[in-house]
Amino acid sequence: MVVVAGLIVVGVGVAGVVKGVRKSFGEEIDTSSMSPVSREGVARLGQVGYSPKGWPWVWSGVWSAMRR
């Protein structure tokens, strides 16, 4: 059961990393009133935020899944 929970946590972490890399978080933000420079800044900040945020979830899930 712990292994399954660990793998679920790994999945959440991978989803966060993928969201940052693919910039899919942009669909959740209304950037229509922003300048092109601001849009690019928001995209970079999102990548800087989402991608690293996913890695602790991945490592926590791996650690949990390895522990029995």
Task: Note the pLDDT tens digit of each residue in 21-57.
Answer: 998 988 888 989 999 999 999 999 989 988 888 899 9
> Which three-class secondary structure state does DSSP give residue 33?
coil
Measuring CA to CA, how many Å separate 21 from each of 39, 49, 57?
16, 10, 16
| Mean pLDDT of all residues belonging to the chain | 90
What global pTM score does this model have?
Answer: 0.76
Specify burial of residue 65 (Cβ count, 10 A radius: 0-12, 13-18, 19+): middle
Q: Give the chain's end-to-end CA distance (angstroms, integer).
A: 9
Query: How many Cα atoms within 13 Å fall on the side-chain side of residue 19?
Result: 18
